[in-house]
Amino acid sequence: MDRQQLQQLVSKTIEAQPVTDLHTHCYTPGFGHAADGTGKGLLLWGIDELVTYHYLVAEVYRIVPASELPYDKFWAMSKTEQADHIWKHVFVERTPISEACRGVLTTLKKLGLDPNEKTLEPYRKWFAQQDADSYIDKVMQIANVDSITMTNEVFSDHERGIWESNPAVGDDPRFEAVLRIDKLLRDWPAAVKCLAELGYEVTEQFSQQTIDETRRFLNDWLDRMKAVYVAMSLPPEFRYPDPQNKSGNTFIEKVLMPTLAERGLPWAMMIGSRMQVNPALKDAGDMVGKSDILSVVNLCARFPDNKFMVTMLSRENQHELCVAARKFGNLMLFGCWWFLNNPSIIEEMTRERIELLGTSFAPQHSDARILDQLIYKWDHSRKIIANVLVDKYADLVDAGYNVTADHVQRDARLLLRDNFRNFCQPTPATASA
C-alpha cells in the first residue's frame, strides 16, 4: 500500500472499531441525572454541564479575573448563569480555540447542532427534549463506544447509599463498575471510622482482625459492584514503600495486594494530581506534579502475581514510565489523563508508547465527567491515534514488511478495546480458586 491507501485504511478502521472506555465519571441513569430536578444526580449531561466543566471555569478566570467577578459570586450563580457567563466571554467574545472549547464545539456539531449560536438557548431547548436513557444510547452510538467504565466512590455516603438502596443500579449492560477506594490509602484513620460505622470490626492498628475485616469490606463491595478493577487517585508524593506512611504500606501489603491477587483484578493508579492549589476555584483549582516511577517499579517487582494499571499526570513522567512498562508484564499503561488530554501531548505520548511498547497498552480513556464529552474526546483521539499508526505502518512498509488490513484491524481491536478487557480478566487459576 502507498501512503494514501494506508491513511484511508487506518482512518476507516480506527473510526469503525468500537471503544471500551476504561475510565470515566459517567453513570447509569439509576444514579440520578442532571435533568432529574434533584440536584444530586451523578449522571451529568447537557449544554450547561458541558460549558461549566471545570476546565472552562478555569479558562474564564483567565479572561474575567477574580477582581472583576469574585469567586464566591460566581459560585453563588445558578448553573444557567454560570454557563451564560462562560459562553459569552470564552466562546463569543473570544475565539474558542483551546482544546476544552473545541471539545464543546465538536460535540455540538456531532449532535447535529450549529456550534455558532450566540446564546445557549437553542441548545437548551434541544437538550430539554432528550430522555436520559435514550440519550446515553445516542452518545455511545456517535462516539462508537461499546462500554462505559464508571468510577464508583465507595466512601461517598451519597453514592454508597444508592448502591445499598438499589442493588440493581449497576446492572445496566452499557456500564461497568470500578471500586474507588482512595481513603483507605490516603487517610487510614478516616477510613477506619467509616468502616466501623458500616459494621466492620476494625481499628487503626493492623491486627489480624482489622486485616481480615478490611479485606471483607473490599470483597463485599467488589461483589456488590461486580467491579472490573480497583482504582485510586494519588498525589505526586505517593511512595511505595513509604517511611512516612506505615499504615499505607501495611494496607497495600496485607490487604489490597492479596485481595486483588486472589480475584485476579488490577489496581489502577492515577498518580500526579496536586489538589486545590487554588481552592477558590474548587474542582478547577487542581494542578499537576511529577511523580515517583520507582514506586510503581517496586510494586510490580514485589507483587508479581498482581496486575497494575498506571497513568501519570505529568508529561515529564511519560518516558521513564514507558521504560518501566517494558520491564514488567504485570504493568499496563493507559490513557492521556486530564492535563495530558491535549492533541500535541496525546500524539507525543502515543508515538513514544508504540515505539517502546508496540501495541501492548491502552492509548486513551475519556475521563469524561459529562456524558457528552465521550463524543469529542474519542473523535479527537481517534484521529491522532490513526495518524500515528499511519506513520508507524509506513515505516514498516519502508522496511519491506507487508502491512495488511488484517494487521490494522487486529491492532485497532487491541488498542481500543481488547488490551484493557484482557488485562482485567481474572486468570483461569484465580477464577477457579
Domains and CATH numbers, the chain: 47-129 (1.10.2020.10), 178-333 (3.20.20.140)
- pLDDT value at position 36? 75
Specify the DSSP element, H or E, that contains 48.
Answer: helix 47-51
What does the alpha-carbon distance between residue 223 and residue 342 come to, in Å, rounded to a whole number? 36
Strands (DSSP E) along 174-319, which ranges? 175-176, 179-180, 230-234, 266-271, 273-274, 287-288, 307-312
Average pLDDT over residues 271-275: 97
- Residue keyed to cell 446564546: 119
Average pLDDT over residues 226-231: 98
Average pLDDT over residues 58-86: 98
Question: At CB < 8 A and 24+ separation, what contacts does 420-426 make?
Answer: 420/20, 420/22, 420/332, 420/334, 420/362, 421/20, 423/266, 423/307, 423/309, 423/332, 424/228, 424/229, 424/265, 424/266, 425/264, 426/263, 426/264, 426/265
- pLDDT value at position 39? 78
- pLDDT value at position 318? 98
The per-residue pLDDT for range 139-162, each reduced to its tens digit, is 999 999 999 999 999 999 999 999
- pLDDT value at position 432? 36
- Residue keyed to cell 455558532: 116
Kindly tell me if the per-residue pLDDT of 313 is higher than 60.
Answer: yes
Kindly tell me if the per-residue pLDDT of 433 is higher than 70.
Answer: no
User: Does the predicted TM-score (pTM) go above 0.95?
Assistant: yes
Average pLDDT of the chain is 96
Q: Assign 281 a pLDDT band (cuts: 50, 70, 90).
A: very high
Q: Assign 427 a pLDDT band (cuts: 50, 70, 90).
A: confident
Kindly tell me if the per-residue pLDDT of 37 is higher than 60.
Answer: yes
Average pLDDT over residues 23-37: 90
The tally of CA atoms less than 13 A away on the side-chain side of residue 228 is 20
- pLDDT value at position 429? 45
Q: Assign 431 a pLDDT band (cuts: 50, 70, 90).
A: very low
Average pLDDT over residues 96-115: 98
- pLDDT value at position 293? 98
CB 37 within 8 A of CB 358: no
Average pLDDT over residues 192-220: 98
